[in-house]
Amino acid sequence: MFGRVVRYLLLVVATAALGQVPAQAQQDLLRFYGRLDLGVRVGLQRSLIWVNTFPAIADGNISPRTITAIREYQRRLGRPETGLLRPDELDRLLADAARVRGGVGYRTLRDNATGTMIGLPSALISSAEPVRRGTRFRSPAGDIDLVTMNVPTGERSLQQHYEMTLRSRPPAHYKVFRGNWFVIAGSEQSGRSYYVRMHDSGSSLRGFAISYDPALTSILGPVVSAMSSDFKPYADGPSVAEAQSDLASLRGSMAALPSPPSQNLQPLPPVDAPSPAPAAAPAGVGGPSEPIRESISTGTGFLVSAQGHFLTNAHVVSNCSAIGIGVFGAARLIDADQTNDLALLKVEARVPASPISFAARSPAIGEEIIALGFPLQDILGNGINMTRGDVSALAGIGGDSRFIQITAAVQQGNSGGPLLDRSGRLVGVVTSKLNATRVAQVSGDIPQSVNFAIRSELAELFLRRHGLSASLAANDAPRREPVEIVASTQEAVQQVACIKR
């Protein structure tokens, strides 16, 4: 419904000449969007939530925050940031939102244990079990933990529950307390991200708390915003978004808008976004179903084009149901070369970084190199990691010339990361390390620092097959200190999260 109505309205929107600058244009935009039907406004905000530019409640109240979210999406598309969506931009927005929502299997369902209505990323959840005051939903590896709650007000007040939550889950980076509800979000001492929403419903406090591995932020950020919008303290009552809607402004009518000057803009390429089949709920919630087997793994990827293409290992994104890249959200797998362990991904976001430059020549034995990546995130945290070493051989196991051997330490999670020379140029893609335990069992000796990277020449050829030209750095590029190399490239190097069902 939203798609059909809003397409008609955006034909009118596309005729508005509001592309100029600040103050007056902002007010014109707010007036225009405020006159749209509530369902259209809510649908627009919900789509912006799913593309991760609007981390707020989809209540239909159009404020500067909504306009900023629209402009951010236009920026990602490389379009003028007018705040006024063209029809083809809207089509892309709807398709992108549907793809992300379908990828996590998002749906709302009634939680019988608490009498609430809750949003659930059912493709990521495999189990539901009763707890003392609600229901616990979990992913198989525990990367996602969601609990619904129904606490009698005779046991504690909303204010007391708010203060107790702040004490038990420090530190909070966001907190808000309103008469009959509160929200707290932050990071646990373990490093996991969390979000808590509770409402005073008279006889009880009703809400939910979700915590998850920070590596999943790009995927779960939109999910949490959608959950917060859709939560109903009573399953037959209004959702949070409905309760916060500005009902007084719902009867506006469309106003005639002036025709714009012609714009020399290239149309966006089409996006295939078939409607996903409804996802099944976990067993014991809303009816029986088969549990979904799901796991989450992470690797590293790096930017290779100004259009948002990232390169990583094929094994990092093998059999993924959904892929996320750093802070840029969902990514699309374009192709994977299993033979050379390379994969090409693309994000729709406009990445504010320069692509990694490739070296024009192969490295020499003894040449210093730097490996960047996100190893052992459950132990080392969520930041980029740098290790140094040397090129120790120009071939892999059995003289395989596709690889170079390096001494830089790499671990699980480094896969797909860039291997750079001391000028910051790409000379390889980190792919594997020798299994020290197995070698020791055979040879009786433990190998030290035997790791491998795919030659950059193979990565360059892989890109060419897809119409992409690698950025080649000059042969005489100056030598730089590691701190300079990391500072200039770290925005282009991102964690890759793979969800498998």
- CA-CA distance, 315 to 410, in Å (whole number)? 16
pLDDT at residue number 22 = 55
Residues 151 and 76 in one domain: no
Range of the domain at 143: 105-244
296, 412, 414, 448, 459 from 433: Cα distances, Å = 21, 9, 10, 10, 19
pLDDT at residue number 250 = 35
pLDDT at residue number 105 = 87
Q: Does 290 map to a domain?
A: no
Q: Does 215 map to a domain?
A: yes
Residues 196 and 127 in one domain: yes
Q: Is the pLDDT of residue 416 over 90?
A: yes
Q: Does 485 map to a domain?
A: yes
- CA-CA distance, 28 to 13, in Å (whole number)? 12
Which residues, other chains included, contact 101 with Cβ-Cβ below 8 Å and sequence gap of 6+? 50, 222, 226, 276
**CATH number of domain containing 464:** 2.40.10.120
pLDDT at residue number 402 = 84
pLDDT at residue number 259 = 34
What's the number of domains the chain is made of? 3
* Average pLDDT, rounded, for the chain: 80
Residue finishing a domain among 66, 101, 136: 101
Instruction: Dump pLDDT digits (tens) for 80-130.
Output: 888 888 888 888 888 888 888 888 889 999 999 999 999 999 888 888 999
Residue 501 pLDDT class (50, 70, 90 cuts): low
Q: Does 161 map to a domain?
A: yes
Least trusted range by pLDDT, from 9-13, 150-154, 373-377: 9-13
Q: Are 499 and 219 in contact (CB under 8 A)?
A: yes
Residue 111 has a CB neighbour count (10 Å cut-off) of 23
163, 297, 339, 484 from 414: Cα distances, Å = 40, 12, 19, 20
Is this prediction's pTM over 0.75? no
Instruction: Dump pLDDT digits (tens) for 175-213.
Output: 999 889 999 999 887 788 999 999 998 889 999 999 998
Residues 91 and 237 in one domain: no
Q: Are 185 and 293 in contact (CB under 8 A)?
A: no
**CATH number of domain containing 183:** 3.40.1000.10
Q: Does 321 map to a domain?
A: yes
Q: Is the pLDDT of residue 71 over 60?
A: yes
Residue 213 has a CB neighbour count (10 Å cut-off) of 23
Residues 483 and 455 in one domain: yes
Report the SS3 class of residue 397.
helix
Residues 349 and 445 in one domain: yes
Mean pLDDT of 388-408: 85
Residues 457 and 350 in one domain: yes
Residues 118 and 219 in one domain: yes
12, containing H or E segment: helix 2-13
- Structure-derived torsion over alpha carbons of residues 328, 311, 351, 477, reported in degrees to the nearest 10: 150
Q: How many CA atoms lie within 13 A of 243 on its CB side?
A: 16
pLDDT at residue number 110 = 94
Residues 115 and 206 in one domain: yes
Q: Does 8 map to a domain?
A: yes
Q: Is the pLDDT of residue 8 over 90?
A: no
